[in-house]
Amino acid sequence: MKVFLSTDMEGTAGVVDWEQCRGDGPQAAAGRRLLLNEVNAAIEGAVTGGATEIVVNDSHGTMRNLPPADLGAQASYISGSHKPLYMMQGLDGGFDAVMFISYHGSVGAPAGLSHTYNPRAVVEARIDGAVTGEAGINSLVAAHYGVPVVLVTGDRCACEETARFAPGVHQAVVKEHVSRLAAHSMHPDRACTLIRERAAAAMAGAAAAKPPPLDPGVLELSVRTTDIAEAASWVRGVDRTGPRELRIHGTDRLATYRAFCAAILLTRSVAEQV
């Protein structure tokens, strides 16, 4: 069985500050070690549950956070910061399961380091009217290719948000929020044990799992400024429905996701303006 593993970072047990997620300082190095251990725990569990091939897509920040030689099960590694399918680069219909590792809550959610793709641009995201974070948006790609999302790990908000769009998904909640910059995390060893167990269970049931039921999969965004909304509307498939409101609905769910990614990239410089 072939597994696609998309990994973020803010949902890692013990990670509570941006300094642990960015740059090359000692705190960032420590955060990456914690992340690597959780990714490898998911890989080990997946193999125990029947996975025979694993593709890891590094989806956080500059997207080169993991030492390739240290990944378990000789997993292949997609890294680098320019990817047409961003957090879902590499997924296609040849996979049997998707796993979201170290995911975090959506912007506005009571979760540590909460945001949705670009915190300077996106105020809220909704799929078919339901508030979503990155996991729900990324599930559009899984739904397009007919691949089930079988596991999500991270903070409680991330896991609960994922379950809205992937009913029956296995969850490994490794930390509870205290505030946006504080959390009560499991000990890293216990977090890895939990992830390993849930990954094995997820793979054991993957053959019977269903793809995310996102239909029609219309994505709506509230953005921070009118300038961001105007720039985003230049992307094919993105309609401006209000001063700061956008509606994204492509010819299929993959097209919707691609239009969203294009809008995020196009508006990055505009969003950085005060």
Q: How far apart are CA 98 and CA 206, in angstroms?
A: 9
Q: Cα–Cα–Cα angle for 62, 65, 68, nearest 5°? A: 125
Residue 60 pLDDT level (bands cut at 50, 70, 90):
very high
pLDDT, one tens digit per residue, over 65-119 is: 999 999 999 999 999 988 999 999 999 999 999 999 999 999 999 888 999 999 9
Please say whether the beta carbons of 105 and 49 come within 8 A: no
pLDDT at 120: 93
Query: How crowded is residue 272: how many other Cβ atoms within 10 Å of its Cβ?
Result: 10
- The CATH number corresponding to 2-114+146-208 among 3.40.50.1220, 3.40.50.10780, 1.20.1260.10, 3.10.20.30 equals 3.40.50.10780
pLDDT, one tens digit per residue, over 196-251 is: 999 999 999 999 999 999 999 999 999 999 999 999 999 999 999 999 999 999 99
- What average pLDDT does this structure show over 186-196? 98
Residue 273 pLDDT level (bands cut at 50, 70, 90):
confident
Kindly write down the DSSP assignment for every residue of 67-112, as one continuous string. -GGG-GGG-EEE--S--TTGGGTT--TT-SEEEEEEE-PPTTSSST
pLDDT at 110: 86
Map out the domains of the chain as residue ranges: 2-114+146-208
pLDDT at 137: 98
Enter the pTM of the model. Answer: 0.97
pLDDT at 274: 60
pLDDT, one tens digit per residue, over 8-58 is: 999 999 999 999 999 999 999 999 999 999 999 999 999 999 999 999 999
Q: Report the Cα 223 to chain-centroid distance in Å.
A: 19
Q: What are phi and psi of 142, to 5 degrees?
A: -65, -40
Q: Which of 60, 67, 207 is nearest to 147 (CA)?
A: 207
Residue 272 pLDDT level (bands cut at 50, 70, 90):
confident
pLDDT at 87: 98
Output the CA torsion sign for 7, 41, 73, 64.
positive
- Non-local (6+) Cβ contacts of 261 within 8 A are 84, 85, 86
What's the mean per-residue pLDDT of the chain? Answer: 96
pLDDT at 85: 96
Characterize 181-204 residue by residue with b for buried, 16 or more Cβ atoms within 10 angstroms of its Cβ, and e for exposed. Answer: eebebbebeebbebbbbbbbbbbe
189-193: long-range contacts, CB 8 A cutoff, minimum separation 24: 191/13, 191/38, 191/41, 192/37, 192/38, 192/40, 192/41, 193/41
